[in-house]
Structure formats: structure tokens, C-alpha cells
Structure 1
Amino acid sequence: MRTAKFQLETLTCPSCIKKIETTLGKVKGVEEVNVLFNSSKVKTVFDENSVEADELKEKITKLGYPVISLKVS
């Protein structure tokens, strides 16, 4: 299992949280999704054998939330 932390440009409304959590939560291999509204960060725990962090980044970007930085550990 790996952890990816995404810094987003900005989250403008609380419904953004639900949108991101729902989308990433449906991805095979994603075990946990936490969206921090005030700091515009998304933390995911995922199985690197099923999905790559870049794929998750792409899904967030397609929702309309530009990713400024990504840290994987």
C-alpha cells in the first residue's frame, strides 16, 4: 500500500469534497480517500499493483480541480 498526497489549486465548496471522495473511492485499488477542504489537499491510500498515483491525479484534474503537487510515499 502506498500513500499519495495531492495539493490542489483550491476547493471552493464543501460539495467538492463529496465529488472527489466518490470518484476516487470507486477506483479499484483505492482503500482510503480523505479530502481536507481548508488546505485543499487530498490524501489517498492505494494498492500500487492496481492503480498508479498519476491515474488518480488525472481523475482529480478531469473533475476540474488542478493538482499543483503530488507526493507519493
Structure 2
Amino acid sequence: MKPNPRSVYGKVRFVAFGEDYKVRVVRVGGDLSVRRVSLGAFSPGLWEEVKVGEDFKIRIVKMGEDFTVRYVRLGEG
């Protein structure tokens, strides 16, 4: 079953293996619009990149993704 991408927000750590989710970045469309923030990632579409203490581990892939994301400056979610 495909995960609900809107439930993946907060502190994320990008990893090469051992991920919670495999994500493919797209330029158009996408299952989730993501805005990277330095603090306060408390709602869907907000990701704060961390090295430790993550809520989720994300691996960026070119195929075989769990869901797709599009990076935005406004209109996350």
C-alpha cells in the first residue's frame, strides 16, 4: 500500500540506505509539494533537513519510488 505523502513532514534525514521512504523529485505535478525550512516543520509539506534526531529517513531515487515530491517556495502540502 502506498504511503500518504502528506503524513511525511517534520525533520528528515537524507540517506543512501535504510530509508523509511523512497522519493523521486519531479519538476511538474508530484504527490507532495515540499518547502524546505530551517525551523518549524510542523505541517504537511514542510521538511527540515537534519543529520540526527529525524522523524523520517528519505532516500532520493530515480525509479521505484514510494511517492514523488516537487520542491516549492510557496504552496506546500
TM-score tier, shorter chain, comes to under 0.3
User: Normalized against structure 2, the TM-score is what?
Assistant: 0.25
Larger radius of gyration: 2
User: Normalized against structure 1, the TM-score is what?
Assistant: 0.26
